[in-house]
Amino acid sequence: MAEETYPPFKIAKIEISKTISRRQHFQRVHKKLLNHKDVIFEALQQLESDWAGFCFVKILFCNADESCNFTEAYCKTMRNVQEKNPAGRRIVWIPDLFDVALLKSFLDNEDVEEQILDKHLVAFEKLGQFLDTVEDTNKILQNELKIESIKEGRWASIFGTHVLKMLAVYDQMKIDSGYCELSTECPCGCKKPINIDDNSMGHEEVWHGSVDILLGPTCIEVFNSYQGDEDDFLESSNSAFERKRGKLENSQNQLISESITFAFAMRGGVVPLIGISKSSFIIYMYDPDDDLLYESTSMPLFLDSVKGRQLHFSSVVALWIAINHSYFFKGVQASHVEFGYKANLQNFLGEEQHEIYQKHIRMGGLRHVNSNVVEFKAGMNKGKFKRF
Ligand SMILES: [Zn+2]
């Protein structure tokens, strides 16, 4: 039976004159990126180091089998990096999953013209355009960061419009209509249009709900207040897994349930779910075929400099590569499957729910579905409980 798949995504329109040959396009993009060579090399060097990485997540207990909104989902988890046996504490570095080297070879002017497809050129050009105007973007974000209690919807609109969408090869960015404070224009005053839509997904009988931003085949969930996690990133460079976890971790129930549901909604293929706060971001990727759940370290969005808070370039490149993952994802490595640190999602699903996840998860139309699970406090007992 042919299942409904998510509609294909339009590639961003980048003005390429019809008279320009591929060779000329190649050279134009190359020249553009060379203007930012030092910055990009530094970022790539960091992404190839232990600055950030992924671990595997195992579910110990969850309510994926219940009719439950993402905001009420719970998911008790364990990471392979927490295992007692050191042999199990292995980390997946970014170049193991994404073809970071391609950008490097392109910049180095290696003989890679054959390897670099038109779609890569479009992605490289987007990165170049972003870096051309990054000073202006920094100013816009700095102004927003001055607002003490910036609303989630405003931050989603502004960060989405000026950073995420600008890095993406996809034309479509949809902000969830659940934000009551949203307007159809970017709230920073630039008047760029905002596309507000129904970003719900899932199924009535299992996990479902809305994600804040849908950008091509990437989901982004935005969180507002993470006071306290900023200090983590002001420390001098230390290895990724020594770094304290940001408060994004507190939202992991929601992020994991969205990541798993989104992966099923996309029907095969590993797709990222990015959780973003005002100071950091984290990436989850679930592979439904091999039942592997990758979780990245939390990466800083900004660096403090004499010019004020500036976007962290390594993070910008990491975001760019994650958003445009369909161009750079190398696929789940056989060694990761053999390593066998599975999420074990199936252990928590009956036959019926298993079939729902496999065949009936859908995009849209789930905004008004009630959750069967509620947050409840009774005396000493506080938690998420199922309704009668
Ligand atoms: Zn704006």
Residue 358 or residue 180, greater confidence: 358
Given a contact cutoff of 8 angstroms between Cβ atoms, the answer to whether 48 and 100 are in contact is yes
For residue 160, pLDDT beyond 60: yes
For residue 215, pLDDT beyond 60: yes
Given a contact cutoff of 8 angstroms between Cβ atoms, the answer to whether 200 and 212 are in contact is no
CA 54 to mean position of chain CA atoms: 13
C-alpha 154 to ligand 1 mean position (Å): 10
* Domain with 53 in it: 23-368
Determine the pLDDT at residue 247: 53
C-alpha 8 to ligand 1 mean position (Å): 27
Q: 124 falls in which pLDDT band (50, 70, 90)?
A: very high
Determine the pLDDT at residue 226: 46
Question: How many angstroms separate the Cα of 276 from the Cα of each of 85, 113, 199, 222, 331?
Answer: 32, 35, 17, 5, 24
C-alpha 134 to ligand 1 mean position (Å): 13
Assess if residue 388 is contained within a domain.
Answer: no
C-alpha 151 to ligand 1 mean position (Å): 15
Q: 239 falls in which pLDDT band (50, 70, 90)?
A: very low
If we measure between CA atoms, which residue out of 362, 315, 13 comes closest to residue 172?
A: 13
Assess if residue 349 is contained within a domain.
Answer: yes
Determine the pLDDT at residue 238: 37
Determine the pLDDT at residue 343: 97
Q: What is the C-alpha to C-alpha distance for residues 371 and 192, in angstroms, rounded to an integer?
A: 35
Q: What is the DSSP letter of 238?
A: -
- In the Cβ-directed half-sphere of 45, how many Cα atoms lie within 13 Å? 6
Q: What is the DSSP letter of 301?
A: S
Assess if residue 14 is contained within a domain.
Answer: no
pLDDT tens sequence across 324-364: 998 999 999 999 999 999 999 999 999 999 999 999 999 99
Q: 366 falls in which pLDDT band (50, 70, 90)?
A: confident
Q: What is the C-alpha to C-alpha distance for residues 159 and 206, in angstroms, rounded to an integer?
A: 31
When pLDDT is averaged across residues 139-160 and rounded to a whole number, the result is 90
pLDDT tens sequence across 42-99: 999 999 998 999 999 999 999 999 999 998 898 999 999 998 998 889 999 999 999 9
C-alpha 286 to ligand 1 mean position (Å): 32
Given a contact cutoff of 8 angstroms between Cβ atoms, the answer to whether 283 and 229 are in contact is no
- Enter the pTM of the model: 0.88
pLDDT tens sequence across 1-49: 334 444 555 555 555 556 678 888 889 999 999 999 999 999 999 999 9
Backbone angles phi, psi at 56, to 5 degrees: -105, 145
For residue 232, pLDDT beyond 50: no
For residue 250, pLDDT beyond 80: no
C-alpha 193 to ligand 1 mean position (Å): 9
C-alpha 350 to ligand 1 mean position (Å): 46
C-alpha 187 to ligand 1 mean position (Å): 6
Backbone angles phi, psi at 93, to 5 degrees: -85, 160
C-alpha 307 to ligand 1 mean position (Å): 20
C-alpha 160 to ligand 1 mean position (Å): 9
C-alpha 38 to ligand 1 mean position (Å): 28
Assess if residue 150 is contained within a domain.
Answer: yes
C-alpha 11 to ligand 1 mean position (Å): 22
C-alpha 147 to ligand 1 mean position (Å): 15
C-alpha 140 to ligand 1 mean position (Å): 7
Q: How many domains is the chain partitioned into structurally?
A: 1
Assess if residue 76 is contained within a domain.
Answer: yes
Q: What is the C-alpha to C-alpha distance for residues 102 and 99, in angstroms, rounded to an integer?
A: 6
Q: Which of 39-43, 114-118, 119-123, 329-333 has the lowest mean pLDDT?
A: 114-118
Assess if residue 106 is contained within a domain.
Answer: yes
Q: What is the C-alpha to C-alpha distance for residues 210 and 103, in angstroms, rounded to an integer?
A: 34
Determine the pLDDT at residue 262: 96
Determine the pLDDT at residue 244: 42
Q: What is the C-alpha to C-alpha distance for residues 40 and 134, in angstroms, rounded to an integer?
A: 13
Assess if residue 385 is contained within a domain.
Answer: no
Average pLDDT, the chain: 85
In angstroms, what is the C-alpha Rg of the chain? 21
Assess if residue 93 is contained within a domain.
Answer: yes
CA torsion 295-299-301-303 (nearest 10°) is 180
C-alpha 272 to ligand 1 mean position (Å): 25
